[in-house]
Amino acid sequence: MAEHRSMQRAALLDAARSLLSEGGTEALTFPALAERTGLARSSVYEYFRSRAAVVEELCEVDFPVWAAEVSDAMQRAATSEAKVEAYVRQQLALVGDRRHRAVVAISASELDAGAREKIRAAHGGLVAMIVEALGELGHTEPRLAAMLLQGVVDAAVRRIELGAAEDPTAITDAAVAMALRGVRG
């Protein structure tokens, strides 16, 4: 029984990811979740008390995985500059991933304080990874530089998400070039 419940919960989270990546937070409704999973709407409420609860759980499940992928890419890099490049490239490489799209949709949405705090903490973990590399590059304000660098990444993410005129590869290369020139500061 417990296994069945956890499978249904996983199916609901997967449906939530799809809905978020297709239509943003407006698309994430309990009727839509029920329809996608074949569960009765009342069953959806047995798993989650609100949309915010769905979002919060997605953050808890997906953000660490996503951050770990960025961290792994950075650990494989030999130099501080290569770590910066890996940090930018890996985040942008994940843009097409449904988990990432869901996280972006979530980040842009109206969330309760608890969910916002979880996202902030996860983002903080991501930024903390790069602070060290920036310090090694001799930055006097590595924390500020990290926040600005993440701003470049976020802008590139939005540009790719929008399906901008430029090819995603060109956007990624431009973001990497800007980051590397900027962090040499």
pLDDT of amino acid 73: 95
Q: How far is CA 29 from CA 102, 166, 171, in A?
A: 14, 33, 33
Task: Show the tokens assigned to 79.
Answer: 């130099």
pLDDT of amino acid 52: 80
- CA separation for the pair 180, 42 (Å, rounded): 52
pLDDT of amino acid 15: 94
pLDDT of amino acid 11: 94
Residue count (the chain):
185
Q: How far is CA 49 from CA 36, 132, 153, in A?
A: 18, 40, 34
158: nearest Cα among 28, 24, 14: 24
pLDDT of amino acid 104: 65
pLDDT of amino acid 98: 67
Give the dihedral of Cα atoms 168, 156, 147, 23; nearest 10 deg. -110
Question: In Å, how far from its chain's centre is CA 80?
Answer: 23
Q: What is the pTM of this model?
A: 0.75
Q: Across the 185 residues of the chain, what is the mean pLDDT of every consecutive 10-residue run? A: 85 91 84 95 91 83 84 94 94 78 65 71 79 90 90 87 82 93 67
Check: CB of residue 125 under 8 Å from CB of residue 67: yes
- CA separation for the pair 136, 146 (Å, rounded): 12
